[in-house]
Structure 1
């Protein structure tokens, strides 16, 4: 029976996991006084999943624990000031032997147990080592002739440094010869200062990345950074305690670390489709895969080791085509094609496949099985959805119609944990056809707060909606309940009874979701509906290294986004901005309540000319100094009307992360005041 096999996989894992024991009572009590236990409908759904999925396939557990050679005697990693940056122990409740949590989709519970790996693994004897369970991502060490080549140094300096120390303490000290960033998301470069320094780079340590890395590491999360970070509250369950009723996993790892994020600019870029580089005696063939999980990403093959590094293109899950925090929609077909290229270029010979998340696969047959499963899942997603779209199925219907082929549903490597079939299928249509379903009613719809009162009035007011909503919840029709209760909450944002009932429906839906991103979104919304947005809620974002890496043009683009058109209505001016040490000349214009700029030009008769070196500008960008102060003390030189700087500053909005996502949850002032032209923290790109 499938139920028996859930116990088996947990027991198998526990038998190989030293030092992790379940926290007492963590699984029995809800963390929220308003929280509800799983309903009988949810329990029945979970039991159905236990019976229908291949829980007798234990290969992932065997492979995930293979090669464990060292487990730390600690479970927390802290920053210099004592802040907890990482805490694998907070998820120990998952390891109660034989425990089945009806508040967690059984497939997700399986994935969450697999992600409890915590230690140093020898993937290939004497040559390839990997530390897992220290961050959202893995850090990998390749032994060269004299030192280490490090792949993807985690998200935080503290976790990366702890991983390197574990390696050193276990197998001996060797210098770092190179660091490779597989792609442009922060959990793959943010911990670099925990393993190398600027001095190391000056002394010859190489930093290698795919072409376009720096541009995308910065640009992907600039223009909508504030709203992306707020939406991350839901996707990553920022406010949810680690609990069977809250945060259980993040599919590609347990969670995001909360340490210090850094960035050291690459010294070498891989630009060809396939490019061979040898460092410290290690031959590496890099495969550029732009337009897959990241705009700039690359796989790596080690021909002498018959080892294939799959970056974040092939992990233990089907990934996001659309990331719920917000991002450009990805290309499922291109993703499939790059996997297919790797399969035929490297997969015919590889004997081990490892990646920046999840666990390795061993043996050529197994590697080809997993590569084909993921190739076919991304391809079928693209082709199957477009097949339906060409038959008239719309973006608002496809998630209820498209199904992954049964043969793929029975393969764990093709399950959608980080993504979900529902939101990925909608993303494919959005990529090709946009958000409109071709019904004129939905082309320019009323805002929810304007349309909701019409529905509430027509349904006879709040009482009959609450009565019907409760009836639907009691009968397990949770999605139907959300349709009407959501209208009531928008029409009456202060109706706590309505918000609580909508939260009850959201909670049961969340319990039933296989994707933690979707689960967290429903449970996070339920939490805020019940309790509001708590004071002081924050997330970790990119540090000053990333802001300093921004192009001047990109910084000006974001200043233009901050301009409040109403405040700028009567302003017209032209500024010549010069960065002499970078030989940059930029014209900035305010006209028609809009700020624009052009690079490589110099305006005649400008109202103001400013000249300052890039290092000084970076102090403005990071908020360390004000531009007006620099103009006053001569750090920045100017000619013309310097008051224009103050005028421009007066038009700028400061975005706060504490705005409402669900009505009536109470906006909070969560973002500290910053200098006028300081660049706010960029969006957190961990996990893609």
Structure 2
């Protein structure tokens, strides 16, 4: 048996070069950095100002306390956050390994500075407890919390660290800076919703917060969640050949995100509010890093909270997980407004990721470069677009001026110049390049079969790809081998060589998400689809905060045309708790709704919004709800089951790197 295995390996050696002397197949294991990757990473060390240690000084300034170890678990003893797995190989005294871009390694070292920090007297941050920071501002009676992380468990642990230093004080207010999960999901770890209902705790957010917070996590949540596995490297091993850094922080925690609806909204720039004795002035910045977002100025402390409108990295115009394309022109304009309003007065600038900057002249210089990175990407991408270049061509041409290229806080640890320039093109021009061959081109698998045929078949393609791989042409081998994998999904040699190509590209990537995407792709090519617990994007809190109309929209995107074909029905729903009534109409395989309730419906149901939530979450069937008296039906109750039977369920672990 051993001889046969060795024979198989020898026969495949030209293609895979992946067997040991005893016949062990190593093709599915991570590879070291190639000579080309080592050189590429060595060139980075020479190109950037690594001798500048200002960020390291700022990242450790004001340090107060930290636990010796940081592993946070939920009530079921499951780990939701574990910094220890990174501490085994990332520290400030270790040089970057060959398998990590030195600039990304530097960013990871900075993000590993965890614990409780004093921004200034009265403002404190706990960093390194999640992807984002949690900020505590001392009020007269308690703490005002800015952005309570992703998971209740991590937020609770951060508050406990604060309490150890200052003694227990209640949370009197929570401010959500914007509508992304890492800025509100941990709220139930520090706040009891009953205290919010009783008026003991304010929840403050910008106008449109709830709508945007829930819509991004539900309507397209399944696809975004699957791609987020790639973007954040959540399943990658924690070692120098695996996960290193997410750009904004190490990675995301894995608790179940929560949400308590805001009690107060900020609707315009200049709006003032005194919260637990602390004066604040808000800058409303919709359409920047999030659809709704706001910065905060503390006039008495001369402190400027920048939410996520400025971080110590180039941010995303379009995230790799998927989202609506952001407007870098508006983003830059709001940053300019910030400079004009408070730049000269600000003594400290801090935000929901990374570390602060102190002193007004340094803050203004920092904010100008943040402003200009987005304005430059916009203006130069549009200039090239107007010369007839496509998004792919623009990403290959565009370069930053030296003042932005050599500035650490505008390096591409999260967003990148390449994919942000493509995003600008997409915002203006859409998916179509203008070339007629792209108008109705073949889908990947069909095109792949023809590509492989034209290239002389799999063996010829593999031989040439191996030669190009050995010459360090990883971008090309990644391009050509994807066709062979899509044409022959069971071709192990093709998958392994493609994985090797992705791996080297990941090792060279400066962007944390780019590294994660490449290495997760390599992992799935070698090991197959993960069988880990699927991400729950439509969590109970998210569903509970969705308006009824948004739930209906979510049902609409789940309608299976083949099951709805030829069916016509009208169903009335009366929500006794909301005092709202609707008609649902299924026809032409489309689900519509209206508040102008139809008089003659196939059936009418009277229920509460919570009952509909439980049905949507799969915790309660329609028939059981009727039996329990939670739904009262007039007409044919089977009509509701007929509608529910048309709805599709989404498989989280869909294929990405294979057809």
Instruction: Tell me whether the two structures share a fold, i.e. TM-score over 0.5.
Output: yes
Distance 2:96 2:278 in 1: 45
Deviation at 1:619, TM superposition (A): 2.2
Deviation at 1:593, TM superposition (A): 1.7
| 1:269 aligned counterpart, secondary structure | strand
Q: Which residue of 2 aligns with 1:360?
A: 356
TM-score, with structure 1 as normaliser: 0.90
User: 69-78 vs 204-213, which deviates more?
Assistant: 69-78
Q: Deviations over 1:477-529 (max 9, x none)?
A: 11111222111111111101011111111111111111111111111111111
Choose which of 589, 611, 614 in structure 2 pairs with 1:616: 611
Tell me, yes or no, if structure 1 residue 413 matches structure 2 residue 409: yes
| Structure 2: segments with no counterpart, 5+ residues | 1-25
Distance 1:122 1:540 in 2: 35
Q: Which residue of 2 aligns with 1:19?
A: none
Q: Which residue of 2 aligns with 1:628?
A: 623
Choose which of 478, 484, 502 in structure 2 pairs with 1:482: 478
Q: Which residue of 2 aligns with 1:683?
A: none
Q: How does 1:334-373 map to 2 (within 5 A)?
A: 334-373=330-369
What is the RMSD computed on CA atoms of the aligned residues? Answer: 1.4
Distance 1:523 1:105 in 2: 14
Q: Which residue of 2 aligns with 1:559?
A: 555
Q: Does the 8 A contact of 2:233 with 2:251 survive in 1?
A: no
Deviation at 1:580, TM superposition (A): 2.4
Choose which of 144, 149, 153 in structure 1 pairs with 2:148: 153
Q: Which residue of 1 aligns with 2:317?
A: 321
Q: Which residue of 2 aligns with 1:469?
A: 465
Q: Does the 8 A contact of 1:288 with 1:299 survive in 2?
A: yes
Q: Which residue of 1 aligns with 2:76?
A: 81
Tell me, yes or no, if structure 1 residue 116 matches structure 2 residue 89: no
Deviation at 1:418, TM superposition (A): 1.0
Q: Does the 8 A contact of 1:258 with 1:540 survive in 2?
A: no
Q: How does 1:43-442 map to 2 (within 5 A)?
A: 43-92=38-87, 93-95=89-91, 97-125=93-121, 127-201=122-196, 202-442=198-438
Q: Which residue of 2 aligns with 1:20?
A: none
Distance 2:134 2:530 in 1: 34
Q: Does the 8 A contact of 1:261 with 1:542 survive in 2?
A: no
| 1:170 aligned counterpart, secondary structure | helix
| Structure 1: segments with no counterpart, 5+ residues | 1-30, 665-688
User: 351-360 vs 632-641, which deviates more?
Assistant: 632-641
Distance 2:567 2:61 in 1: 66
Distance 2:460 2:617 in 1: 53
Distance 2:484 2:144 in 1: 57
Deviation at 1:203, TM superposition (A): 4.0
Q: Which residue of 2 aligns with 1:25?
A: none
Distance 2:127 2:481 in 1: 43
CA 1:542–1:54 in 2, change beyond 3 Å: closer, same or farther?
A: farther
Q: Does the 8 A contact of 2:217 with 2:537 survive in 1?
A: no
TM-score, with structure 2 as normaliser: 0.94
Tell me, yes or no, if structure 1 residue 531 matches structure 2 residue 527: yes
Q: Does the 8 A contact of 1:153 with 1:189 survive in 2?
A: yes
Distance 1:32 1:249 in 2: 25
User: 537-546 vs 47-56, which deviates more?
Assistant: 537-546
Deviation at 1:604, TM superposition (A): 2.4
Distance 2:505 2:268 in 1: 46
Distance 2:535 2:634 in 1: 41
Distance 2:556 2:539 in 1: 22
Choose which of 642, 650, 653 in structure 1 pairs with 2:645: 650
